Amino acid sequence: MSQDYGYYGSAPRKERRRGGLFGRLFDLLMFLVTWAASLSLLLSLLSQVVNPNNISWLSFFGLVYPIIYIVCLGCALYWVVRWRRHFFLALLMLVIGYGSSKHFFDPQFKRVYEDSKEVVHSDFRVMTYNVLGFNKESGEGETTTAQLVARLADSARVDILCMQEFQYNEKNISTFADEAPRLKYNVFRNMDKHYAGNSGQGIVIMSAYPIVRHDIVDCDSTFMRSLWADVRIGADTVRVVANHLQSTSITKEDRAHTLTPHIVADSMREERLTELAGRLAKNYAIRANQADSLARFVAASPYPTIVCGDFNDTPISYVYHRVAKDLTDTFALREEGKNATFDGFLNLFRIDYIFVGERANPDKKRKKDDVNMAGNLTPRTYISPDVHYSDHYPVIVGLDINRPVEE
């Protein structure tokens, strides 16, 4: 009986379709990768609702979610080319993870020309930025990094500026007074919550509007991680909560050695990786406790609330979903700039946020003599300028105040 040879007349079509022994082995490898990526994606989604204090290792899957989703996409493309039914598993994972993927990947397919852009106005603008103590070289001669950040805030017409890792000293305060004179009110707290003096490194809130009161959000941690301020905007008051949650404790040595291909040849790689994983797990648990305290504080706010800062966690994390549960992530309005807010690790990580939320009693109408009760906050614009003044990128959001009906 004659065999059915294909165009090349050298092998049966069925054999060619499989690609021979190598093709079958590669199919097996991709089959295992597809199932591993699918399981990893499900675990990463589960990490959003499981407290790291209970199961710490789940958080590692959430950390690498963007990579997992990209692997699932690659598997789907491979199987559709190979025309195998495993494509449907990869496709199912892409569908399940699509909503979460938009926290990381938000491509702008429609090209917008500068002269056709609609100018969107807002009542006021908020900016958050981890400035790394202004320790990164400016690259612009004698111009300091503090001057560049202040000029950015001034040119963007920022009304409320929240900075983390701000080095509070006479020089930096003077710089902002000269370069961003609109921001004439400021409150600062040292990272050590037991030290209330205006010096050292910590969190600062600067405002063009009067700050009527401020304090820290207490939590079970040696270091203060959240500073709040009530800001009077005309006849309304909004509460601003600036945060710098527990660091990942990834050092320069980790970035230069442990988290590079050099680790493969390192005779101490097991010890290094185990030590790094232990640090990350410990800090996941600390951030979870801080997020619980922050969420309770925000839920009790009598005013519309802006929650912003460096959370040191991605949108696929317990911390993000604990804090953002009843808030609006302004990233959904992204128009330009970067998706990621951390300058490193292939620019995959968004860890700086600006959330907005209603007051705790949104159904209460404002009385005519109540000048401290604003309505809801509506985000209008979101940009993340591509500037390299720190190891983070700034986030700037335009907000409107929607005032409730007076009785």
200 with 248, same domain: the answer is yes
277 with 190, same domain: the answer is yes
Structure tokens at 241: 């909560």
**348 lies in a domain?**
yes
CATH number, position 157: 3.60.10.10
Residues facing 327 on adjacent strands: none
196 with 161, same domain: the answer is yes
244 with 347, same domain: the answer is yes
38 with 182, same domain: the answer is no
**182 lies in a domain?**
yes
- What average pLDDT score do residues 248-274 get? 62
What one-letter code names the amino acid at 406?
Answer: E
Question: Looking at per-residue confidence, does 100 or 229 come out higher?
Answer: 229
- Write down the pTM of the prediction: 0.82
What one-letter code names the amino acid at 91?
Answer: L
Structure tokens at 6: 């294909």
Torsion of Cα atoms, 137 then 140 then 141 then 147, to 10°: -80
E-strand ranges in 290-332 read: 305-310, 328-329
Cβ contacts of 82 within 8 Å, gap of 6 or more: 27
Spacing of C-alpha 64 from chain mean position: 13
386 with 303, same domain: the answer is yes
Angle at 51 between CA 302 and CA 324, to 5 degrees: 35
253 with 203, same domain: the answer is yes
35 with 171, same domain: the answer is no
Instruction: Among 40, 74, 101, give the residue marking a domain's end.
Output: 101
- What average pLDDT score do residues 189-201 get? 75
190 with 66, same domain: the answer is no
Rounded to an integer, what distance in angstroms lies between the CA atom of residue 196 and that of residue 186? 14
Could you give the percent of the chain with pLDDT greater than 70? 77
CB-count burial class (<10 Å; 0-12, 13-18, 19+) for 112: exposed
**111 lies in a domain?**
no
pLDDT band (50, 70, 90) for residue 7: very low
pLDDT band (50, 70, 90) for residue 326: confident
Spacing of C-alpha 260 from chain mean position: 23
Cβ contacts of 5 within 8 Å, gap of 6 or more: 11, 12, 13
Rounded to an integer, what distance in angstroms lies between the CA atom of residue 130 and that of residue 347? 16
391 with 299, same domain: the answer is yes
**6 lies in a domain?**
no
**8 lies in a domain?**
no
Q: Name residue, tokens 């930025």.
A: 129
| Packing angle of the helix pair 20-46, 87-101 (nearest 10 deg) | 30
Domain hosting 335: range is: 117-402
Domain count of the chain? 2
Query: What pLDDT, in 10s, does the model give residues 110-154?
Result: 544 444 455 677 889 999 999 999 988 866 778 899 999 999 999
Rounded to an integer, what distance in angstroms lies between the CA atom of residue 317 and that of residue 81? 34
**140 lies in a domain?**
yes
What is the pLDDT, as a whole number, of residue 146? 95
Work out whether the CA dihedral 114, 117, 123, 126 comes out positive or negative: negative
Is 399:381 a contact under the CB 8 Å cutoff? Answer: no
Instruction: Among 101, 126, 156, give the residue marking a domain's end.
Output: 101
Residues present in the chain in total:
407
What is the pLDDT, as a whole number, of residue 337? 55
Q: Is the pLDDT of residue 1 over 50?
A: no
Instruction: Among 48, 73, 101, give the residue marking a domain's end.
Output: 101
121 with 83, same domain: the answer is no
What is the pLDDT, as a whole number, of residue 407? 46
Residue 33 vs residues 89, 90, 91, 93: alpha-carbon distances, Å: 12, 10, 14, 13
Query: What pLDDT, in 10s, does the model give residues 278-310?
Result: 888 888 899 999 999 999 999 999 999 999 999
Is 374:236 a contact under the CB 8 Å cutoff? Answer: yes
- Least-confidence region, from 252-256, 364-368, 380-384, 385-389: 364-368
Rounded to an integer, what distance in angstroms lies between the CA atom of residue 129 and that of residue 102? 22
- Least-confidence region, from 29-38, 106-115, 132-141, 370-379: 106-115
**5 lies in a domain?**
no
DSSP string, 183-227: --EEEEEESBTT--SS-EEEEEEEESS-EEEEEE---SSSB--EE
Work out whether the CA dihedral 166, 171, 173, 179 comes out positive or negative: negative
C-alpha closest to that of 298 among 380, 238, 210? 238
What is the pLDDT, as a whole number, of residue 248? 76
71 with 152, same domain: the answer is no
- What average pLDDT score do residues 319-330 get? 92
C-alpha closest to that of 204 among 191, 195, 220, 192? 191
- What average pLDDT score do residues 250-262 get? 60
pLDDT band (50, 70, 90) for residue 13: very low
**336 lies in a domain?**
yes
What is the pLDDT, as a whole number, of residue 19? 61
Spacing of C-alpha 223 from chain mean position: 21
